[in-house]
Chains A and B, each alone.
Chain A
Amino acid sequence: MPITLKGVMQAPVTPLKDDFSFDGEGFARMVDFHVRHGAPAIAWPHHKAESLNLTIAERKLGAEIAVKTVAGRVPVSIFAGTLSEEDSLDIARHAQKIGADMILAISPYCRRPSPDEIYDSVVRIGTHTDLPILTYNSPWRNGEGVEFTGELTQRLIERLPNYIGMKDASFHSAKYLEISRVALKLRPGFAIIMGVEHLLASYPLGACGSFSSSGAIAPNLCNKFYASLVAHDWETARECQFKISRLWRLFKEQYPSSLKGAMIMMGRPVGPTRSPLPTATKERIEFLRAQLEELGILQTEPHGW
């Protein structure tokens, strides 16, 4: 059965114990929290989940916990982005074996790959698994990112029958539209998922949803935002978008440290953040508490698990 992806999909953080080891029980609680609060899909481990600071073994273990905890209630996407392409293939194989619904791939980082190199990489991963595959467009300027053009997306759609969507982090009218107009014409239903909830600018142009940045703090706001888009209620959508935009500003500072700090303050102990990323200080958490109160988040969003 084809997977339907839409809405603000949740990408859980990775709970750690005080000694920085992976907290499997905490992770199961985290995943379950998202599903119970309306997540239309679960995607792990994104950058927010400290993906590159987890070992491949930890990533496989987490993937198993995610699939088992979700238990078919919503689709599960496993992120296969790594520094080495061999590890990405390994994770893709494992994801298929444990019954995940799809993988999210990116050509290995820190190389500024050419379009042909990205093409080869995605084809290699995409033909290595029978799972549906999403790709991740992250055109960062320093060379650590991987940029997809419309033309490259078209070549990949023509080559890979299991290529079902794009996580887009260009956040740019022309770049977004280059991909969306080409992809949606060639493969209707192709899922264009915004990397953060910058959805108001892209939803009218065919984006189906987002992988959430702030859903761990404000799942109600995320769901209200998406419902307002579906209803074409642009006034409410603006109110939600601007609030989420302020949240993103708070959290993108040393992402995901501040996010984890705020989650702890809201009664969901997810532990510290692995080095070289810092762990949120007490002062930072107090600052976040004041900000979240002013935004009305503390008053309207769930506390505890």
Chain B
Amino acid sequence: MATFKPGLVHTPVTPFKRDQSIDFDTYAKIIEFHLRHGADALALPMPEGEDLSLTDGEQRQLLEFAIGRVKGRVPVIAHVSDAGTSIAVERALHAEKAGAAAIVSHPPYFWHPKPAMVVEHLVRIGSAVRLPFFIVNPPVETVGTTLTTEIVLQVTERLPNLAGVVDASLDFVFMEEVISNGRRLRPDFQLVAGADFIVPTGALGGSGVFSPLSGIAPKLVRALYEFCSKEQYVEAREMQEQIGALHHAVKSAGESGLKDGLAGIKAVLGAMGRECGVPRPPVRPLGEVERGKLMEALSAMAFLRAEPRGW
């Protein structure tokens, strides 16, 4: 199998109407926006696409809709994560049939299973399909289970289609260990940045990024990505710091104990002229004070003035 390299992957939000149904007209605009602003691929619905709040049927519908709109212009990566293994396996099979280019999965949500069960869960999803398969290492505070290097290596040994890890843990130690040991098992093993911190991952030998901030600042993310692709990590520092400031402002807004940033991202998108509604319950939208604080932080970020307004 030829190596699938995802490149700069945009991870669109999922817009909802007032009645909480998915707003497909806006979703079509979101997809076009990403394709016009530098996406090498799309991945959906990622956590910033509120996958946890979507029903199984909605996740399938969203993927089919996106693939229909993209029409092969870029690969569409399906995010398939759930608490139960068989639910995730069925959804992965659907994604393959619908024309997804790759599958990306978290460890099982919620249960805190022992490592052997995490391996089993991931192997069952990955072996159900022939597509390239990536595992996400989630932030340590979320979803229950942290992915260890040992788990990744065991899955790699059992799955010929395991392409690599998308790291959202942001943990230097994990990244060092997983890429160095992963490459010993499989020379083309990939480490992909799972948030917009491309410099650390790139310096450690990773490539590609799943970029949650690309809906807000696609130009800056693209420029940072290009510098890192040329191994100009030191030169990329200022851009990475700007991204860091934006990430901090978005993530700190809202009431989420996990700082998931869902309310923040949608508030900023609206302020940039790309109204995507508010998150689904139980996530609360920003209150007036929170919103004011976030907008004030954004107005201090001069680099945002170069970013596209509206669709």
Contact check, A238 vs B248: say whether CB atoms are below 8 A apart: no
A204 to B237, CA, bound (A): 7
A172 to B171, CA, bound (A): 5
Contact check, A174 vs B172: say whether CB atoms are below 8 A apart: no
B7: CB under 8 A from chain A?
A: no
CB-based nearest B residue for A150: B248
Q: Which of B223-263 contact A (CB under 8 A)?
A: 231, 233-234, 236-237, 240-241, 244-245, 247-248, 251
Which residues of A lie under 8 Å from residue B195 when comparing CB positions? 173-174
Contact check, A174 vs B173: say whether CB atoms are below 8 A apart: no
Q: Which of A116-173 contact B (CB under 8 A)?
A: 150, 171-173
A70: CB under 8 A from chain B?
A: no
CB-based nearest A residue for B242: A181
A204 to B199, CA, bound (A): 7
CB-based nearest A residue for B205: A238
Which residues of B lie under 8 Å from residue A232 when comparing CB positions? 231, 233-234
A245 to B234, CA, bound (A): 22
A234 with B173, Cβ < 8 A, contacts A177-B241, A206-B237 known: no
A172 to B175, CA, bound (A): 10
Report A160 CB to chain B, min CB distance, Å: 23
Contact check, A204 vs B171: say whether CB atoms are below 8 A apart: no
B58: CB under 8 A from chain A?
A: no
Which residues of B lie under 8 Å from residue A88 when comparing CB positions? none
Which residues of A lie under 8 Å from residue B87 when comparing CB positions? none
Which residues of A lie under 8 Å from residue B127 when comparing CB positions? none
A232 to B234, CA, bound (A): 8
Contact check, A204 vs B241: say whether CB atoms are below 8 A apart: no
A177 with B172, Cβ < 8 A, contacts A200-B204, A204-B233 known: no
Q: Mark B171-182, 1 if CB is under 8 A from A, else 0.
A: 111011101100
Report B217 CB to chain A, min CB distance, Å: 16
Number of interface residues of A (CB under 8 A): 29
Contact check, A171 vs B203: say whether CB atoms are below 8 A apart: no
The contact of B172 among A178, A202, A238, by CB within 8 Å, is A202
Which residue among A201, A206, A249 has the maximum number of chain B CB atoms within 10 Å of its CB? Answer: A201
Contact check, B247 vs A242: say whether CB atoms are below 8 A apart: no
B133: CB under 8 A from chain A?
A: no
The contact of B177 among A177, A200, A201, A245, by CB within 8 Å, is A245
Which residues of B lie under 8 Å from residue A176 when comparing CB positions? 172, 200
A234 to B236, CA, bound (A): 14
Q: Which of B128-185 contact A (CB under 8 A)?
A: 170-173, 175-177, 179-180
A241 to B177, CA, bound (A): 10
CB-based nearest B residue for A201: B200
A198 to B172, CA, bound (A): 7
A266: CB under 8 A from chain B?
A: no
A250: CB under 8 A from chain B?
A: no
Contact check, B245 vs A181: say whether CB atoms are below 8 A apart: yes
A204 to B244, CA, bound (A): 14
Report A183 CB to chain B, min CB distance, Å: 11
Contact check, A173 vs B176: say whether CB atoms are below 8 A apart: no
Which residues of A lie under 8 Å from residue B180 when comparing CB positions? 242, 245-246
A177 with B244, Cβ < 8 A, contacts A172-B171, A204-B233, A242-B180 known: yes
Contact check, B170 vs A174: say whether CB atoms are below 8 A apart: yes
Contact check, A173 vs B170: say whether CB atoms are below 8 A apart: yes
Report B294 CB to chain A, min CB distance, Å: 15
B197: CB under 8 A from chain A?
A: yes
A265: CB under 8 A from chain B?
A: no
A178 with B244, Cβ < 8 A, contacts A204-B233, A241-B204 known: yes
A176 to B173, CA, bound (A): 13
Q: Which of A166-201 contact B (CB under 8 A)?
A: 171-178, 180-181, 198, 200-201
Contact check, B176 vs A198: say whether CB atoms are below 8 A apart: yes
CB-based nearest B residue for A177: B244
Contact check, B177 vs A205: say whether CB atoms are below 8 A apart: no
Which residues of B lie under 8 Å from residue A203 when comparing CB positions? 203, 234
Which residues of B lie under 8 Å from residue A238 when comparing CB positions? 204-205
Contact check, A178 vs B248: say whether CB atoms are below 8 A apart: yes
Which residue among B173, B200, B201 has the maximum number of chain A CB atoms within 10 Å of its CB? Answer: B200
Report B97 CB to chain A, min CB distance, Å: 36
Contact check, A201 vs B237: say whether CB atoms are below 8 A apart: no
A104 to B203, CA, bound (A): 29
A161 to B244, CA, bound (A): 26
Which residue among A204, A206, A238 has the maximum number of chain B CB atoms within 10 Å of its CB? Answer: A204
Which residues of B lie under 8 Å from residue A234 when comparing CB positions? 203, 231, 233
Contact check, A245 vs B173: say whether CB atoms are below 8 A apart: yes
A150 to B231, CA, bound (A): 27
Which residues of A lie under 8 Å from residue B203 when comparing CB positions? 200-201, 203-204, 234, 237
A198 with B234, Cβ < 8 A, contacts A173-B195, A178-B248 known: no
A232 to B247, CA, bound (A): 27
Contact check, B171 vs A171: say whether CB atoms are below 8 A apart: yes
A249 to B241, CA, bound (A): 30
Which residues of A lie under 8 Å from residue B234 when comparing CB positions? 203-204, 232
A175 to B170, CA, bound (A): 9
Contact check, B173 vs A171: say whether CB atoms are below 8 A apart: yes
Q: List 18 A-B contacts (CB under 8 A).
A: A173-B195, A174-B170, A174-B248, A176-B200, A177-B241, A181-B241, A200-B204, A204-B200, A204-B234, A205-B199, A205-B200, A205-B240, A205-B241, A232-B233, A234-B203, A234-B233, A238-B204, A242-B176
By Cβ-Cβ distance, the 9 closest A-B pairs, closest first, are A201-B200, A204-B233, A173-B197, A242-B180, A173-B170, A177-B244, A181-B241, A171-B172, A198-B172
